[in-house]
């Protein structure tokens, strides 16, 4: 039976404002995941017999720090897994603060609240985002046994706004050996900034291999999954692709490579939500074994087999 958490008092405050709480750890025999609502993100994703795969810029993020205990100007680069709610091109022109970077801190850095929890899941809720008149909820659910997690991200508009929204999931992970990215048939590859990383097309051009670039490199493409390949395992994030929808970044999966971390990013379509409407973006995380002798192209087929993904031509 599902259990709702109400650990803050008094009850009236919980009902009106929600509950800002300490980190919550979910676990099954093969995985632990820690969500810290006080900074609005996932801060641990730890397979059995392995270190945390998420990069953290401050060790305190993994403990009991509250958002007002850290420098708010650096919120976007704390590490972990987070979401942004609007197109980067809109940050300067449409947001009241008139800034291009870092991202709007109302969603990235403010305290979130626990909306509910049961044995294998926890839901956190953002504060009311006055810049876009919306609220974001994220429900993290572990598989019963497998090293897998589903994250249901929903943005709901409570009043009219002329700023379109999407769910942009950003996971800062420790640098892998290389990254593999699914590429939908015939879709162009969007290079953003200097193409400093070495890029290789695999499996007839239906996937991309990218090595890390310490000076930073960004790539985006229309695809269904992105995978960080480590020495002993593969972290895969997958999300539905909607071919007929409009993606504001012209990409549904993106990769940023840097010296301290790599960003695995998935994006929903960009939508003009009306008051009362919502948009949901579901991201599934899976940890797969890495066949030791498999070349990158064979790893692409290995990933697709595990995902049960059918490709054109077989």
CA distance 279 to 211: 33
Question: Rounded distance, CA 34 to CA 309, Å?
Answer: 29
Residues 22-31 have pLDDT tens digits of 899 999 999 9
| CA nearest neighbour of 212 among 263, 173, 254, 175 | 175
The secondary structure of 177-210 as a DSSP string is SEEEEE--TTPPPEEES---S-EEEEGGGTEEEE
Which CATH topology does 11-307 take?
A: Beta-galactosidase; Chain A, domain 5 (2.70.98)
Convert the pLDDT of each residue in 201-247 to its tens digit: 999 999 999 987 766 788 899 999 999 999 999 999 999 999 999 99
Matching residue, tokens 């998420």? 54
Q: What is the mean pLDDT of residues 144-153?
A: 97
Task: Please give the model's pTM, rounded to 2 decimal places.
Answer: 0.86
Q: Which two tokens stand for residue 205?
A: 């051009």
Find the Cα–Cα–Cα–Cα dihedral 235, 172, 112, 121, rounded to 10°: 10
Domain spans of the chain, in order of start: 11-307
Contacts (Cβ under 8 Å, ≥6 apart) of 16? none
């Amino acid at each position: 039976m599902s259990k709702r958490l109400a650990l803050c008092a008094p009850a009236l405050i919980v009902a009106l404002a929600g509950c800002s709480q300490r980190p919550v750890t979910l676990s099954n025999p093969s995985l632990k995941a820690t969500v810290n609502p006080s900074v609005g993100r996932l801060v641990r994703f730890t397979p059995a017999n392995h270190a945390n795969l998420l990069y953290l810029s401050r060790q305190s993020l993994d403990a009991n720090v509250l958002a007002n205990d850290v420098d708010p100007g650096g919120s976007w680069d704390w590490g972990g897994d987070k979401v942004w709610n609007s197109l980067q091109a809109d940050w300067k022109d449409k947001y009241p603060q008139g800034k291009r970077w870092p991202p709007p801190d109302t969603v990235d850095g403010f305290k979130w609240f626990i909306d509910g929890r049961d044995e294998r899941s926890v839901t956190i809720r953002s504060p009311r985002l006055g810049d876009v008149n919306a609220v974001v909820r994220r429900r993290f659910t572990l598989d019963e046994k497998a090293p897998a997690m589903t994250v249901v991200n929903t943005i709901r508009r409570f009043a009219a706004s002329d700023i379109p929204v999407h769910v942009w999931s950003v996971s800062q992970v420790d640098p892998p050996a290389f990254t593999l990215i699914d590429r939908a048939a015939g879709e162009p590859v969007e290079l953003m900034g200097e193409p400093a990383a070495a890029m290789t097309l695999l499996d007839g051009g239906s996937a991309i291999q990218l090595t890390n670039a310490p000076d930073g490199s960004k790539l985006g493409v229309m695809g269904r999954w992105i995978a960080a390949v480590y020495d002993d395992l593969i972290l895969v994030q997958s999300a539905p692709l909607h071919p007929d929808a409009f993606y504001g970044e012209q990409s549904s999966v993106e990769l940023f490579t840097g010296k301290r971390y790599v960003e695995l990013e998935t994006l929903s379509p960009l939508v003009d939500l009306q008051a009362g409407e919502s948009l949901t973006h579901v991201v599934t995380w899976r940890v797969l074994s890495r066949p030791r002798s498999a070349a990158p192209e064979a790893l692409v087929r290995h990933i697709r087999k595990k995902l049960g993904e059918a490709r054109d031509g077989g």
